[in-house]
Amino acid sequence: MKAVLASLMELLRGDVQADRVVPPTGFTATLTTLTAGAMAFLAVFALALSFATGRLAERWSSELARSSTVRISAPEAELEAQTRAAQEVLRLTPGVARSRILGEEEQRLLLEPWFGPDLPIDALPIPRLIEVVEEDDGYDAEGLRLRLAAEAPGAVLDDHTRWRRPLVEAANRLRVLGWTAITLIALSTAAMITLAARAALAANAQVIRVTRLVGARDIYIARAFVRRFTLRTLAGGAVGTLLGMGAVALLPRAAEEGAFLTGLGFVGLHWLWPLLIPLFGAMVAFWATRGAALSALKALK
């Protein structure tokens, strides 16, 4: 760890004399800084996507996983009896923590987004809804369905699995896609820096020949390139990250009903994560340039 820190400090301190030996090449310098900035900007969004979908999946899993609904559709004369029967079945079902009948006002609120606030709920044949909250271990949904069918034929159990599972799966896949995007961004950055480093080495063939002639070791030559590309990537990555964080911060606030679309962003300490992007980019640049330089120098007679 000490050796790594020492190398890092040496890298940041730089070596004015060594930096003078290898002249900077404008083309690769600009290309590296710009690409590092663009990649960092994209990485911030990919990271934000990963965190947002992670939160979404977690919420859908935890909030909805422990609740389900029993819907009772029966002729008005039988509605009360079937409701009581269903409640009794629920009370006796292992794994059910509690159940309660939703009131008219709650049902009206549930339907409001689709039918408006003035829905005459009394005049409509709205089914009775019972909210069921599970214990940690859950209950046997199939068994409950069979018992409800026997005791209250109009009762239908909806444990939300049907629509919750694909949503959670979708959110999890989006999260994986976010991390895949970050990995691809890192690989693209490494590839770009490798190409730029090789171009810089080719452009400095004469410098390499002369420095070798006077006793330069390959690691000395490689270090001059590594330092330059790492610092450029760090600088470009820092600017790209700050711009990306600013853009994420300026996204519209997440509203309860539109959270899926507007919830992209960071929450609390998650804002610290993007700050690692320039450092990670610099690390990628360090290894990519070092590998490219040493292999190119080895191949160079």
Subset of residues 22 to 41 that bind other proteins, contact rule: CB under 8 A: 23
Q: How far is the CB of 31 from other proteins (least distance, A)?
A: 20
Q: Looking at 12-20, 71-79, 104-112, 192-200, which segment touches other proteins (CB under 8 A)? A: 12-20
Residues 71 and 156: beta-carbon distance below 8 Å: yes
Across the strands, what pairs with 68?
132
Residue from 1, 213, 269, 299 in contact with other proteins (CB under 8 A): 213
Rule CB under 8 A: say whether 126 interacts with other proteins: no
Q: Which of the 8 DSSP states describes residue 252? A: P
Subset of residues 59 to 118 that bind other proteins, contact rule: CB under 8 A: none
Q: How far is the CB of 207 from other proteins (least distance, A)?
A: 6
Subset of residues 215 to 234 that bind other proteins, contact rule: CB under 8 A: 215-220
- For 230, the 3-state DSSP assignment is helix
Q: Looking at 53-61, 136-144, 205-213, 251-259, which segment touches other proteins (CB under 8 A)? A: 205-213
Residue 129 burial (CB count, 10 A): 18
Interacting residues of 60 by C-beta distance below 8 A, sequence separation 6+? 164, 167, 168, 171
Residue 1 burial (CB count, 10 A): 5
Residue closer to other proteins (CB basis): 5 or 214: 214
The rounded distance, in Å, linking the Cα atoms of 21 and 212 is: 12
Q: Compute and round to an integer the Cα radius of gyration of the chain.
A: 31
Q: How far is the CB of 50 from other proteins (least distance, A)?
A: 44
Rule CB under 8 A: say whether 206 interacts with other proteins: yes
Residue 70 burial (CB count, 10 A): 26
Q: Looking at 15-23, 109-117, 146-154, 265-273, which segment touches other proteins (CB under 8 A)? A: 15-23
**Chain length of the chain:** 301
Q: How far is the CB of 194 from other proteins (least distance, A)?
A: 21
CA 25 distance to own-chain centroid:
37
Residue from 1, 3, 9, 17 in contact with other proteins (CB under 8 A): 17
> Contact residues for other proteins (CB under 8 A)?
17-18, 20-21, 23, 206-207, 209-220, 298
